[in-house]
Amino acid sequence: MIDTRTAPYAALLLRVSLGILFLAHVSLKLFVFTPAGTAKFFGSLGLPPELAYLVMTAEVLGGIALVLGLWTRIVAIAVTPVLLGAIFSVHGAAGFFFTNPHGGWEFPAFWIIALIVQALLGDGIYALRLSPGASSVSGLSSAHSR
């Protein structure tokens, strides 16, 4: 059974955590590896180096959208291919455990599951723009009317 009094806050916590995770992850690419270095790494994997810029853009915009609660369900599904790409291009061959050399696919897979859970849960409370078709049941009005 789902506690409808706390579920909107659980969705908020998950949404903000996922957004911060994306922003932290892309920060590594931007400030440590640099965009040019990240593009070079993509090229070394046999991927088009330009794809790195698309991935970094998706991570920044997706992270911000999740933190702010902008179309949460759509964004959670939209950024999932980025992590699938990480599994199939980098982490899959390293085995399951993320502590393996080159990091396994354990963490990206869990991250995908968390994004799917977020898409199923919805926006949560304090979302700036509810996902299409979402009701205000998980929004400000219902939480403050109790």
pLDDT along the chain (146 residues), means of 10: 94 98 98 98 97 98 98 97 96 91 92 98 92 61 38
Give, in degrees to the nearest 5, the angle at Cα 25 between 21 and 31: 135
Cα 102 to chain center, whole Å? 21
Check residue 133 and give its pLDDT: 76
